[in-house]
């Protein structure tokens, strides 16, 4: 059974991350904050944990496959799957830290990296990692 584990407001909705440890894929549920109605559920990567909203996207960290899914709120579809470790140098960085909140500020998504003291910056729309 999926467990709601992260939530963020934005784009006129609440975005709830649903994780299930043994599932092949996680989901994000879009909720109307005025009515509490579930508007849609979107499939994302493996074991999603955190969500942030900014720059016209909903960003979800997926801890088991070290990716970030970008959902387009106008279509409720994943429009990009960013392989964080492939974009960054694996030798220089560890894994996405699932216990830390990612944040959206200054037109960029910021991700903490486990055991490394590093924060990666994802700059949309090009989705490059620095």
Question: What is the average per-residue pLDDT within 110-126?
Answer: 68
pTM of the model: 0.81
Q: Which of 36-40, 43-47, 107-111 is least confident?
A: 107-111
Domain count, the chain: 1
Q: Which residues are within 8 A (CB) of 8 and not within 5 positions of it... i.e. 6 or more apart?
A: 14, 15, 51, 52, 53, 58
Note whether 121 and 108 are within 8 A (CB).
yes
Which residues does residue 30 pair with via DSSP β-bridges, in sequence order?
15, 40
Question: What is the average per-residue pLDDT within 106-118?
Answer: 71
For the chain, the average pLDDT equals 81
Phi, psi of 115 (to 5 degrees): 55, 25
pLDDT tens digits for range 63-108: 888 788 999 999 999 999 888 766 554 444 445 555 556 777 778 8
**Tell me, what's the pLDDT at 71?**
95
Q: Which helix (H) or strand (E) holds 111?
A: strand 108-113
Question: What is the average per-residue pLDDT within 36-54?
Answer: 93
Residue 61's domain comprises 3-129
**Tell me, what's the pLDDT at 120?**
73
With a cut of 50, say whether residue 123 has pLDDT above it: yes
- CATH code for the domain in which residue 37 is found: 2.130.10.10
Q: Quick one: tokens of 103?
A: 């944040």
């Amino acid at each position: 059974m999926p467990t709601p584990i992260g939530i963020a407001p934005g784009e006129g909705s609440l975005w709830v991350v649903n994780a299930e440890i043994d599932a092949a894929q996680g989901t994000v549920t879009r909720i109307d904050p005025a009515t509490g109605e579930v508007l849609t559920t979107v499939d994302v990567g493996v074991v999603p944990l955190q969500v942030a909203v900014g720059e016209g996207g909903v960003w979800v960290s997926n801890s088991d496959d070290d990716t970030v899914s970008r959902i387009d709120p106008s279509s409720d579809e994943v429009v990009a799957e960013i392989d964080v470790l492939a974009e960054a140098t694996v030798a220089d960085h560890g894994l996405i830290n699932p216990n830390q909140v990612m944040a959206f500020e200054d037109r960029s998504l910021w991700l903490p990296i486990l055991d490394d003291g590093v924060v990666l910056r994802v700059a949309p729309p090009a989705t490059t990692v620095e």
